[in-house]
């Protein structure tokens, strides 16, 4: 049976990317060595790392004056690295859910933290608008896509202070105006590669400004000056990232990824809105194109487990919601084929007919 993987992360990758990684593990480019066995200082790895970093610049049209880093660790590591590297006195955070709150918590270790707005009042089911940003904040931190609650900032906001974004779960799913940001970061395991790797796009002129002593491994400036080779990066995930970035480029780049993501999201939200058995937890423009959250509509709550099993029997994997949010979540990253969401919509239709 064909399976569609709706995991939220680590998540689905294009099959060809998985195959290429598997082949490189067994024998990289006919060298008789596994890619895992190559030195991170070898010319072969250097080529892979350089191409991956330059493809990130190309795909996102990164302007001059920015460094691209591929580092070990996850997005959570940057929850601490961001304030370590940018917070002098005060930082502003937009609280749109679990990940934003975790980022904010780390920042309190480094200085004053202002919550500019929060959507906690409605269980993070929307993105706050029209909030004030303190002009004296060292930066404003936003989470572009809220993986757990299924909300997304579909445009790059204007900020009077340097803008920092956690783009873990929607990077490479749409064009980004990188020039609006001082720093973009995320974990690789949602839309770039397997876990163990993180990405950073950082404005060089924003680095080295805090006057604070920073442990080398947590200092973006150290990593930038070392060309992302200060220490050993997770080499195999860098290879997977390169193959995935090549795939995105071949498919038509991030604009094409966005077009497909909108179509996929449209199929699912339309069915959820139409089908009386289901209800979306997010309304309107804040709906994520990456993580589509829904619950059983009122009166049908007791069918949740039955629907979960029904979907699993049809090869629709991992549609259960986050343990905090409950209900269902269909994560549809770049690799999700259109047939995957059609199969899920069909499954919801058939379930309601039973």
Ligand X SMILES: *Cc1c(COP(=O)(O)O)cnc(C)c1O
Among the residue ranges 53-61, 68-76, 86-94, 334-342, the one whose residues contact ligand X (CB under 6 A)? 68-76
| Minimum distance from residue 291 beta carbon to ligand X (Å) | 8
Residue 45 interacting with ligand X (CB under 6 A) = no
Of residues 182, 79, 75, 178, the one with CA closest to residue 137: 182
Pairwise CA distance, residues 125 & 28, whole Å: 46
Interacting residue with ligand X among 96, 169, 228, 275 (CB under 6 A): 169
Class of residue 293 by CB neighbours under 10 A (exposed 0-12, middle 13-18, buried 19+): buried
Q: Which residues are catalytic, by number? A: 99, 166, 190
Of residues 319, 303, 284, the one with CA closest to residue 352: 303
- Joined tokens for residue 143: 């989470």
What would the DSSP string read from start to end of 258-326? Answer: HHHHHHHHHHHHHHHHH-TTEEESS-GGGB-SSEEEEEEPTT-GGGHHHHHHHHHHTTEE--BPPTTT-
| Minimum distance from residue 289 beta carbon to ligand X (Å) | 14
Of residues 188, 344, 166, the one with CA closest to residue 271: 344
Number of amino acids touching ligand X (CB under 6 A): 12
Interacting residue with ligand X among 95, 118, 143, 151 (CB under 6 A): 143
Q: 92 - beta bridge partners?
A: 114, 140
Interacting residue with ligand X among 95, 147, 173, 191 (CB under 6 A): 147
Interacting residue with ligand X among 174, 190, 287, 329 (CB under 6 A): 190
Q: 199 - beta bridge partners?
A: 70, 186
Pick out residues in 92-111 that bind ligand X (CB under 6 A).
99
| Minimum distance from residue 103 beta carbon to ligand X (Å) | 8
- Using an 8 Å Cβ cutoff, are 184 and 86 in contact? no
- Taking the least distance from each CB to ligand X, the nearer of 147 and 159 is 147
Among the residue ranges 26-34, 164-172, 270-278, 325-333, the one whose residues contact ligand X (CB under 6 A)? 164-172
| Minimum distance from residue 189 beta carbon to ligand X (Å) | 6
| Minimum distance from residue 225 beta carbon to ligand X (Å) | 24
For 31, what's the count of Cα atoms within 13 Å in the CB-facing half-sphere?
16
Pick out residues in 73-92 that bind ligand X (CB under 6 A).
74-76
- Taking the least distance from each CB to ligand X, the nearer of 4 and 99 is 99
Interacting residue with ligand X among 4, 9, 139, 234 (CB under 6 A): 9
- Joined tokens for residue 329: 């979540």
- Taking the least distance from each CB to ligand X, the nearer of 185 and 294 is 185
Which residues sit at the interface with ligand X, rule CB under 6 A? 9, 74-76, 99, 143, 147, 166, 168-169, 187, 190
């Amino acid at each position: 049976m064909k399976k569609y993987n709706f995991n939220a992360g680590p998540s689905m990758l294009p099959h060809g990317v998985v195959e290429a990684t598997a082949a490189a593990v067994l024998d990289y480019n006919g060298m008789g060595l596994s890619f895992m066995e190559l030195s991170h200082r070898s010319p072969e790895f250097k080529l892979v790392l350089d191409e991956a970093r330059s493809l990130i610049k190309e795909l996102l049209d990164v302007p001059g004056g920015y460094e691209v880093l591929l580092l070990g660790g996850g997005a959570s590591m940057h929850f601490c690295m961001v304030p370590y590297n940018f917070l002098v006195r005060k930082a502003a955070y937009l609280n749109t859910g679990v990940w934003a709150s975790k980022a904010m918590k780390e920042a309190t270790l480094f200085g004053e933290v202002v919550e500019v707005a929060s959507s906690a009042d409605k269980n993070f089911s929307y993105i706050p608008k029209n909030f004030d940003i303190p002009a004296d904040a060292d930066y404003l931190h936003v989470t572009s896509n809220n993986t757990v609650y299924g909300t997304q900032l579909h445009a790059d906001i204007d900020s009077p202070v340097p803008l920092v974004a956690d783009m873990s779960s929607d990077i490479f799913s749409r064009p980004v105006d990188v020039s609006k940001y001082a720093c973009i970061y995320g974990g690789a395991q949602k839309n770039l590669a397997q876990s163990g790797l993180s990405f950073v796009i950082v404005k060089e002129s924003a680095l080295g400004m805090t006057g604070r002593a920073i442990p080398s491994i947590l200092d973006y400036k150290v990593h930038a000056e070392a060309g992302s080779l200060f220490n050993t990066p997770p080499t195999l995930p860098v290879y997977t990232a390169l193959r995935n970035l090549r795939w995105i480029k071949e498919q038509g780049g991030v604009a094409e990824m966005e077009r497909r993501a909108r179509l996929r999201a449209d199929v699912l939200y339309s069915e959820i809105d139409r089908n009386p058995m289901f209800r979306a937890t997010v309304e309107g423009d804040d709906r994520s194109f990456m993580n589509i959250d829904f619950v059983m509509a009122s009166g049908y709550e007791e069918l949740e487990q039955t629907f979960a099993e029904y979907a699993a029997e049809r090869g629709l994997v991992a549609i259960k919601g986050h343990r905090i949010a409950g209900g269902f979540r269909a994560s549809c990253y770049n690799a999700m084929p259109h047939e995957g969401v059609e199969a899920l919509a069909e499954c919801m239709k058939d379930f309601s007919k039973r």
